[in-house]
Every structure is written in structure tokens, then in C-alpha cells.
Amino acid sequence: MAAYTVRDSVIDLMRGFGGTKLFGNPGSTELPLFRNFPSDFRYVLGLHEGVVVGMAEGYAQATRNASFVSLHSAAGVGNAMGVIFTAYKNRTPMVIMAGQQARSILPFDPFLFSANAVELPKPYVKWSVEPARAADVPLAIARAYYIAMTPPRGPAFVSIPADDWDRPAERVPRRVVSSELRPEPDVIDRIGAALDASERPAFVTGSAIDRDNAWDAVVELAERHNARVWGAPMAGRCGFPEDHRLFAGFLPPMREKIVGLLEGQDLIFAIGAPAFTYHVEGAGPHIPVGAKLVQLIDDPNIAAWTPVGVAAVSSIRLGLIDLLARPAPAPRPEPQGRAARARVKPSERISVAYLMQTLTELRDPGAIIVEEAPTARTPMQAYLPITRSEGYFTMDSGGLGYGMPAAVGIALAKPGARVIGLIGDGSAMYSIQALWSVARLELPIAFIILNNRRYAALQDFAPAFGFAEGEAVVGTELPAIDFVALAKSMGCAATRVDEPGRLRASLSHALRADVPTLLEVLVE
Ligand SMILES: Cc1ncc(C[n+]2csc(CCOP(=O)(O)OP(=O)(O)O)c2C)c(N)n1
Ligand SMILES: [Mg+2]
């Protein structure tokens, strides 16, 4: 065997990149990587590839560094694909390695090989390669890392034949590759002048703000302009404190409704957000008639399809710093804040709104909320304000099966932080094996399963797709899933609550537990 191998070189690179956690699910084609596995590394096992990529994704977001993943050749990558799609949409940096059969038997279509490994994860990776020679594997890993970390960030993919790991290789030096873009000064001047001239500006805040550590800069700019601030449709991160006097609420992913809510504003400033993410068809203008749109965005693709207005493509943080460097504008009157929500009273069954209100009263202010519970989103937005940077995570993609493992990855990255996973019953079942991983990792996550025994979002959506009022929707009832039994079978503490009178005690127990805990809440 060679003195310095592909394995040695890749391990050295990973260590240099801070990637000593390897998230994976193993197969024969990856085994050679694990021989003499270094003692400072940890292999984080997920029992389904969606769980593996979900954990690695949460870990990467919370550490702000690319995570490393090892998947099994074609079948493993296929299983992971739904969450790779989410990682791509969330702009999360990851280096995904996949096994491949040994080069010498590739001509014979061997068992488990990936016929077109490079194409398989496209179009949801930024770069995909199977190096031409074994000796090129370390260089490919380094390049995948730098590409993944370049804004807009995202996953990169390297397919590695099993026999490559023991081949000779060279050490790859670590480099500094910085690609934070500062905006074009002329365009910042145009956006700044439009802001100064506006009488009633509105900010629409998106996921890229928190991803880019720009939360404080947005708050300062909003206060300086007395702008009304809206949360962008379907944002996977929170970009503005939802209890702030300037916070006006959330925009839904529907064109006419967005225009209706923004009516009366003369300037819309989309910050780190597409303008706009739509979920259903719409017609007419994209912004109120007579208003202007300006945008600060880290993704040239999004800037390209934005239908109207001026867009600056750059780092969100650097763009905001440039706007803050301009002289302060003439003072503007305080805009109308968000309408107060009526206090929820307990009803006969536990309502989601009552659950969110109770959670707000009991949670530790530093807790991190990870949510994947489609019909709970609106009551959550009403009754569970996110008030700090890195306080909320969900997906920009809409692909279910992400939230549960992402919560595990985030908790792994933030020792000591309390992570609360708010997960729908349907969503939980796409990646329920995350409970096994969290039990092994002994992380103090509280998973709250909002069990309404159905895919409520699809039932709620049916009238918009021509269903008669009350008409049954096939494939949307999920009776008889026992989440307490599922959790216990995988080593998590678990209890169930179905009476409003017992909710507070059950929640406070789950939020204080120092072991992974699942609370199944039967909601109406
Ligand atoms: C991978 C994937 N499959 C299917 C869907 C379609 N889908 C959207 S919402 C939803 C229901 C989710 O159910 P649950 O988590 O129980 O939340 P609820 O709608 O009941 O609030 C489904 C199946 C999806 N978004 N992603
Ligand atoms: Mg449900």
C-alpha cells in the first residue's frame, strides 16, 4: 500500500476544514474510507439517507461551515435526494461523498454501481464530479468544499470508486478562498436614494439575512427608515425580530394577497428574499400599482427572474453596511405596527394556537425552534414570535422529511442550546429514524409532534383545486400512529397529552428534560 494515500489526504483535508464529523449511512463501496478511522473523528450514523443529509444540513447551517456526508452509491444517493433538494434551496454548504464500484469492474455493470453517478444528484448540487484518476480525489474534495462555501452556498458532490482510497495521493494545501461580493456602488446609490425618497417604505425580509449574519444591520436600517417590516413568504430562517414595533407580519406565497398587504407602501425593499416565492397561480401586478421594488440578494439567479425593479447582487451583510454608511434620511412618522392577536382560551381539545401560546410562555428565550408542521405555521407565526438571530429553522424548499433530522444536526452543533422541534404527524413519518440518532447522541431536544392524524395542509388546500366543500381527499388520513411507542422503541423518552388542562405540565417537563424527549400532542 502507498505511504500516503487518497484516504490520508482526504482525512487531512476534512480535519483542516473543520469536518471531523462525518454524517453517513455505510455500504460496501464506502468501507475502505472507514478503515483505521481517526480517533478525533466521529461518524454520525443515520438510518436513512434523508436523515443523514438532514442532520448534516442542520449541522452546517448552525456551524456556518460545510458539513461532510458519506452516502452509498446509487441507492443511497437516491434516498437522500429529497433532502439534497432542500439543502440546495436552503443554500447550505455541504460536501457529499458517495461510494462507487471499483474502477476495474465498472465495464461489467457491477452490483450496486451508479451508472451515471455525476448526473444523479443534478440539478440540486452546485458541482458534481467523479474524478478521472484516484489521485485526483483529494483535489476534488477541496474544490467541492470551496464551491460549497461560495455564495450562494450549497451542496457539492463527489463520487469516489471504492478502490481509490488506498491509492497514492499528494497532500493538498489548504487555501483561503473568499468570494463575499460587495455590491456595485452605483446600484447601492440607487437603492439608497429610492429609500431616502420613499414616504412609506416596506422591507420584506428573507432567509439570506440570518444566513449571512445580517440580522443587526437589518434592524438598524429598518429603525433608521421607520420601515414596516414583513417576513418573506415561505422563508426558512427568520430575518427580523417578530416582537419589534416595526414588524408588520408575514406575507403569504400568493401574488394578489401580497399586493393587498403591501398596498399603501410606495417602496418595497426585498432583503435576502426572492420577490416573491409563490405557491399557487396568480395574476396581475407583483407589487402595488405606483410602488417601486428594490432588492438586495445573494443569488444572481433570483435577481434575474425578479419581475420588476432594481436588484443588487451581493453579500446581504456587506450591502446593508454600505446602505448604513449613507447619511441618515429625514425623519418619517412611525408606521402602523402589527395588529395584536387575541389571547387564546383553552377549548375542549388542544388547539395549535393554544399550544403555541403556552410554548411562548414556557420556552427559554435562547431556545431554537425547528419547525416542519404545515398547518401549524400560521398559528405559530401568530403566537410564537421568533426574537433572535439563529432562533428559527425550517426549509425554503417545501420538501418534507427535513425538520426532524435538521433539529438533531443543529443540536449537535450547539451544545447547551435547547432545541425544540415542532413537527407535524405526517412530516415526522418521512424521517422518524432521526429519533434513533438523537437517542444515541443524547442531545436534549424536545420534539413536539402536532398530531392531527392527517395531512391537514392538503385537505385545506383542496377547495383551491376545485374540490367541493367537504369533499373527501384521498390519501390524507393518517390514523393510528403511536408516536410514543415509536419514540420509546428507538430509545427516546416520550409521553402523550390530549387535554388542554395537562398541556402546560407536559410541555414544561419536555422542555426541561436533559435527555431527548418526544411529546405527542393530540391537536384538534
Ligand atoms: C416529500 C414531500 N412529500 C409530500 C409533500 C406534500 N405535502 C405537503 S403538506 C403535506 C402534509 C403534511 O402533514 P403534517 O406534517 O401532518 O402537517 P399538517 O398538514 O397536518 O399540518 C404533504 C404530504 C411534500 N411537501 N413533501
Ligand atoms: Mg398532520
Average pLDDT estimate for 252-263: 98
Beta pairing, strands 419-424 & 493-497: unpaired
State the chain's maximal CA–CA distance in angstroms. Answer: 74
* Cis geometry, peptide bond prior to residue 276 (ω within 30 degrees of 0): yes
Closest ligand 1 atom to the C-alpha of 376? 21
Least distant ligand from the CA of 352: 1
Residue 512, pLDDT above cutoff 80: yes
Residue 283, C-alpha cell as written in the block: 395574476
Residue 401 CA: which ligand 1 atom is closest? 1
**Which ligand is the nearest neighbour of the Cα of 426?**
1
Ligand 1 in reach of 454 Cβ (< 6 A): yes
Q: Terminus-to-terminus CA distance in the chain, angstroms?
A: 63
Determine if ligand 1 sits within 6 Å of the CB of residue 404.
no
For residue 67, which phi and psi values (nearest 5 degrees)?
A: -100, 160
Supply φ then ψ for residue 432, to 5 degrees: -60, -20
186 Cβ contact list (under 8 Å, min separation 6): none
Query: Does the beta carbon of 375 lie inside 6 Å of ligand 1?
Result: yes
Give the catalytic positions in this structure: 27-28, 30, 49, 72, 279, 398
> Which pLDDT belongs to residue 449?
98
Confidence tier at 470 by pLDDT (50, 70, 90): confident
The closest of 292, 289, 300, 275 to 204, measured between CA atoms, is 275
Across residues 480-502, what is the average pLDDT? Answer: 97
**The Cα angle at residue 209 between residues 329 and 24, in degrees rounded to 5:** 170
Q: Which atom of ligand 1 is nearest to the CA of 398?
A: 25
Above 80 in pLDDT, residue 166? Answer: yes
Q: Are 84 and 128 in contact (CB under 8 A)?
A: no
In the sheet that holds 310-313, the strands lie side by side as 247-250, 228-231, 201-205, 267-271, 292-297, 310-313
How remote is the CA of residue 442 from the centroid of ligand 1, in Å? 28
Residue range 31-58: mean pLDDT, rounded: 97
Would you tell me how many other CB atoms lie within 10 Å of the CB of residue 139?
17
Cell numbers 427516546: residue = 492
Encode pLDDT of 320-348 as tens digits. Answer: 999 999 999 999 999 999 999 999 999 99
Q: Which helix (H) or strand (E) holds 23?
A: strand 21-24
* pLDDT digits 0-9 by tens, 118-145: 999 999 999 999 999 999 999 999 999 9
The phi, psi pair for 7, rounded to 5°, reads: -60, -50
Task: Give me the mean pLDDT over the 23-39 stretch.
Answer: 95
* Ligand 1 in reach of 373 Cβ (< 6 A): yes
Quick check: 66 and 94 in contact, CB under 8 A?
yes
**Grid cell at residue 294:** 428594490
Residues with CB under 5 A from ligand 2 (ion): 424-426, 452, 456
Do 270 and 290 touch, CB atoms closer than 8 A?
A: no
DSSP state, residue 199: S
User: Is 29's C-beta closer than 6 angstroms to any atom of ligand 1?
Assistant: no
Ligand 1 centroid from CA 456, angstroms = 8
State the chain's mean pLDDT as an integer. 97
Tell me: pLDDT of 1 over 70. Answer: no
Tell me the pLDDT tens digit for each residue of 390-411: 999 999 999 999 999 999 999 9
Distance 426 CA to ligand 1 centre (A): 6
477 CA to centre of ligand 2 in angstroms: 9
Q: Which among 213, 406, 395 is positioned nearest to 319, based on CA atoms?
A: 213
